[in-house]
A and B are shown apart, each in its own frame.
Chain A
């Protein structure tokens, strides 16, 4: 067996509408760089980054998915193995925010029950074009009992923090398990520790 250079392996997934900045977020996190010239993702892309949390080396295997509807059959097949999912919207685009509900439904249908989730409101550097207030983002996250953060891939705001918080949440859950090449395939049987569902909001 090859020598392990990490203690734990976490599989993460980035989802959200096309153009919200998923690829930019991932690129900022893995290469600490921002460029405006990304081609749209077709199918699925993949990056790896190792982080250290509480003295443990954690290898993050991150899948970046295409946002457009057409690719959903391809991309939903990745939900199952994911231990953490980042759901991204664009604070300057109302539709991407409205679609969060749709993405959450997708997660419910296709992901492991106790997958750790996080909602990111990206492009928070564009204050002058903002149409979704931070409060609305917080509200929907709270309603579903999910972590929330506003980010900017462009100005590198909260990108590292978002990934380490998500990783930490998974770590909390999986504490005690040993690194194992097949680790990701072990289904986690524990009940999800979801916050009590808030009553549906009537606007």
Chain B
């Protein structure tokens, strides 16, 4: 048996138990999950605590969650009833006012999902499993349709008190927003980016304290890609619902990175950046001192590294490999620090000889590199 086949078998053995041994699975997955047989897709669902460890509970859990997701779609997107009061009702909780507020969020999501992973064609291509209530609605239920209309804005209404007649004129004028290759597909079809847009909108609606923050698209993207490319058709079919809940679980762990008021807390992003800086200081004093001398602060590069779990620094397959390790780490964010630190150590010679500008450039555009090199280095640091 080849090494690779042996690895697959090792995963299958663990997954075939009545109760999955989480520790064993984490250990194995830390060194990478094979892409074959939908293994990665399945293992991530367990590591993100979506699929329970007890095999007997799998079916009912999935059924329940997927029904719940359908319910979200129905209540929030398909038949929310639409605004009922007069558009010029300016009280802050008038239904129009909420409708316009939602559209502002949607506008931002729309801009971002249309820029998702432009180097691969996946997100622009059609999903096999579009949401029927939405794609067969003559466009009216499509979220990006709402966005095209919302270009005429709340503020226009509020400030000038335009009449409703004028309003519909504006709607017509703003149709056909030009969006490169991320064009919406025809009636009955739906592109993957539209699916991502829906999940993010639902997430923002269901988590009003947090809403949508740019970068969430970069977190949900790799998860959805993994689930929607599952070799098992049944799982592919439910990729959207499954991804939504896995994303929600992951966000529960990292959402503080996305909340400005928590920047200074122990779960916030500033704390993470200072931990990285400490880790670097401990492991390579010379590099740390060089960066200090140049006043090259961790915010210049590691804010993005940490907030997005490195998803913008590497190609998608590499991101997925890194996330195997992140998700498998019971102390997930320690390993994130180690990985980031390893990245810096691997370009230490360049940093030591570079000036401020070339070093910022280097760290903001991390050079393509075999990720196993980085991950091995990270393990080395963690056990040092």
Contact = CB atoms under 8 A, between A and B. Distances in A.
Interface of A: 2, 18-19, 36-40, 42-46, 48, 61, 66, 68-74, 77, 93-95, 98, 129
Contacts of A38: 115
Contacts of A40: 111-112, 115, 214-215
B299 A44 contact: yes
A163 B116 CA distance: 30
A95 B111 CA distance: 15
Nearest to B215: A42
21 contacts: A2-B355, A18-B214, A37-B115, A38-B115, A40-B111, A40-B215, A42-B214, A42-B215, A42-B304, A42-B307, A43-B303, A43-B304, A43-B307, A44-B300, A46-B364, A66-B214, A70-B213, A94-B153, A94-B155, A94-B156, A95-B153
B111 A19 contact: yes
A72 B260 contact: yes
A40 B151 CA distance: 19
B258 A70 contact: yes
A45 B116 CA distance: 18
Contact of B361 (A2, A39, A46): A46
B299 A48 contact: no
A77 B115 contact: no
Given A40-B112, A66-B214, A68-B214, A129 B308 contact: no
Contact of A37 (B180, B303, B312): B180
Contacts of B361: 46, 48
B223 to A, nearest CB: 17
Given A40-B111, A44-B300, A95-B155, 16 more contacts: A18-B108, A18-B111, A18-B214, A37-B118, A38-B115, A39-B116, A39-B118, A39-B312, A40-B115, A42-B218, A42-B304, A43-B307, A68-B214, A70-B258, A94-B156, A129-B174
Contacts of B213: 68, 70
A73 B260 contact: yes
Given A2-B355, A44-B299, A39 B111 contact: no
B357 interface: yes
A139 to B, nearest CB: 16
Interface string B254-282: 00001110010000000000000000000
